[in-house]
Amino acid sequence: MNETGATRVELARERVDTAVRRARTARIAAAPALRSRAIRRTRLLRRTLVAAALAVLVLVAVAGVLSWQIRGQHEATELTNDVLASARGAVTVMLTADPADPEGYVTAVAEVSTGAQRERIEAARDALVAEVGGQTDSSVGQVVSAGLVTDPTSDEIGADVDVLVVADATNPALLGESGDGSGVDTTGERVTALVTMTLTEDGWKIAQARRP
């Protein structure tokens, strides 16, 4: 190799060395910025993960609240339906009397009653048997509508609920006197009754039945 060729090779080497040194210097100079950017990215990633975790927790909490509310609404609806069904059945029993079986009628009415209502029925059993047995025809009743006057506040034994019941009846007197103590028009076919339902171990029963 002549002197000119050797010089060119040497110059090429110097340029390569210079480029390598500059690249190394650039990397060294950029290292703090790269570390800062990496730290920022890590922090951003952490914040994103924390935000996502919080969002999941919020969604779970909201789902739990909605589930609890829906369950509570279902339970309230079931309780209401239970009260109304019991009131309808009990009033129908009270308005349905067969003179051929007066004892059975009084027993059936006692079974759908509780508290003072049942005590009055048991105390007046003989008189009621005689009254029903003296009817010339059977008395029948059919509930037309029933609605809550007060909402159920508990499903515990002893809870009370007032229900307004409208029924067609051939003998409205079987529900007793009107609220003002006056007599009942036995010729009427439609009767309105305000009944207080009380929850017992055997379900909802009539604690009081009166004409409003």
Q: Sketch the domain layout of the chain as residue ranges.
A: 80-210
**Region of residue 45 (phi > 0: left; psi between -120 and 50: alpha; otherwise: beta):** alpha
pLDDT-based confidence at residue 66 (cuts at 50, 70, 90)? low
Distances (CA, A) of 23 to 9, 13, 16, 29, 71: 21, 15, 10, 10, 68
User: Can you tell me the mean pLDDT for 41-61?
Assistant: 75
User: E strands along 85-188, which residues?
Assistant: 141-148, 160-169
Contact indicator for 204, 197 with CB cutoff of 8 Å: yes
So what's the architecture of 80-210 in CATH? Roll (3.10)
d(Cα 186, Cα 4) in Å, to the nearest integer?
138
User: pLDDT value at position 181?
Assistant: 44
What 8-state DSSP symbol labels residue 201?
Answer: T
Contact indicator for 158, 80 with CB cutoff of 8 Å: no
Contact indicator for 172, 79 with CB cutoff of 8 Å: no
Alpha-carbon Rg for the chain in angstroms? 43
User: pLDDT value at position 118?
Assistant: 94
86 versus 183: which is more confidently predicted?
Answer: 86
Tens-place pLDDT, residues 111-146: 999 999 999 999 999 999 999 999 888 899 999 999
Q: Looking at the predicted structure, is the pLDDT value of residue 81 above 50? A: yes
Q: Looking at the predicted structure, is the pLDDT value of residue 41 above 50? A: yes
